[in-house]
Amino acid sequence: MLLKRLASDRGHADHGWLRSFHSFSFADYFDRHHMHFGPLRVINEDWVAAGTGFGMHPHKDMEIVTYILEGELTHQDSMGHREVIRPNEVQRMSAGTGVFHSEFNRHPSEICHLLQIWIMPDQKDLTPSYEQRAFDPAEKRGKLRLVAAPDGAEGAVTIHSDTRLYAGLFDGQESAEHRLGVNRMAYVHAARGKITVNGEALIAGDALMVRDEATITLANGQQADVLVFDLPRQ
């Protein structure tokens, strides 16, 4: 079964310094049909204006993944980390028993365009932790690169959830297939460009929810940046 989620159907908030689109219910946006997809709880596409950002705020019992599309974001947290996140890097913060953090675009003129992703952990009250890794674009070119996994396989960041996150770049004749295991489903998010997934055309911001399919096929990319979430069937 394939269910398409159009970019234009997402929730939207405009705070001046921040423009945000919500794939799932978040803050003032509530949609009982889009609360989560398995353990995938949040995909927010954010544009953060230069010199602005999110002040210190708390999180608990959530795996938070940041994927930068353009610009850069400075992360600071109560664990003592202060890091700058840039394109082709993946940041993972496990909130566990509780953590405070801020995210700030300190560039004097450039907007930061990012995806903030929340994944529900398999266990509560974990010890908070942080991880950040860079992935060469060549590793994603025309294929799916594992960037987050519960076992940290292949150099991916480690998340405390039975979820595997892949990133791929596709253009022209480039294509890839991903096989889903028994009792698995997938959520495919087109972050940029255009892509066809199992015959469904997606543009930036669109997503495809995949159930009862053995294989995901990505093709006909046009400057596409794609995320594929391999999730436990629920």
Q: What pLDDT shows up at residue 66?
A: 98
Question: DSSP secondary structure string, 181-234?
Answer: -TTEEEEEEEEEEEEEETTEEEETT-EEEE-S-SEEEEEEEEEEEEEEEEEE--
**Dihedral sign of CA atoms 90, 26, 41, 192 in order:** negative
What the chain holds in terms of domains, given with CATH numbers, is 10-134 (2.60.120.10), 137-232 (2.60.120.10)
The model scores a pTM over 0.95: yes
Cβ(232)–Cβ(182) under 8 Å?
no
Note down pLDDT in tens along the chain; length 234 residues.
999 999 999 999 999 999 999 999 999 999 999 999 999 999 999 999 999 999 999 999 999 999 999 999 999 999 999 999 999 999 999 999 999 999 999 999 999 999 999 999 999 999 999 999 999 999 999 999 999 999 999 999 999 999 999 999 999 999 999 999 999 999 999 999 999 999 999 999 999 999 999 999 999 999 999 999 999 997
Cβ(42)–Cβ(28) under 8 Å?
no
Distance CA 117, CA 63 (A): 8
Q: What pLDDT shows up at residue 141?
A: 98
Q: What pLDDT shows up at residue 142?
A: 98
Q: What pLDDT shows up at residue 14?
A: 97
**CA torsion angle for 192, 2, 121, 124 (degrees, to 10)?**
140
Distance CA 231, CA 38 (A): 7
C-beta neighbour count of 86 within 10 angstroms: 15
Distance CA 102, CA 109 (A): 20
